[in-house]
């Protein structure tokens, strides 16, 4: 199962803004990005009609050259 949640980074620890569906000891894989991302800032301005999960999947398929991102 894949989910997207916002978190706050404090004292070396990521603190999710909502409860997570796993129990203690479950192994998970995480991908972390800053909310200052140009992609996240632009989210919604183009009239996207899909879900955030669909957008995450599409963005994961795109390879960005960091020199080209403003």
3-state DSSP assignment of residue 18: coil
The answer as to whether 36 is a domain residue is yes
The answer as to whether 11 is a domain residue is no
Domain that holds residue 44: 27-70
| Greater model confidence, 68 or 56 | 56
Give dist(CA 52, CA 4) in Å, integer: 8
Question: What's the pLDDT at 56?
Answer: 85
The answer as to whether 10 is a domain residue is no
> Would you say the pTM of this structure is higher than 0.85?
no
Question: What's the pLDDT at 67?
Answer: 61
Number of domains in the chain: 1
The answer as to whether 42 is a domain residue is yes
The answer as to whether 39 is a domain residue is yes
Give dist(CA 53, CA 62) in Å, integer: 15
Question: What's the pLDDT at 55?
Answer: 83
pLDDT per residue over 23-64, tens digit each? 999 999 988 877 777 776 776 677 777 888 888 888 888 876
The answer as to whether 2 is a domain residue is no
């Amino acid at each position: 199962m894949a989910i997207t949640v916002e978190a706050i980074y404090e004292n070396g620890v990521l603190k999710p803004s909502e409860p997570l569906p796993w129990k203690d000891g479950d192994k998970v894989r995480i991908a972390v990005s800053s909310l200052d991302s140009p992609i996240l800032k632009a989210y919604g301005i183009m009239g996207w009609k899909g879900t955030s999960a669909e957008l995450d999947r599409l963005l994961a398929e795109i390879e960005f050259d960091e020199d080209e991102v403003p």
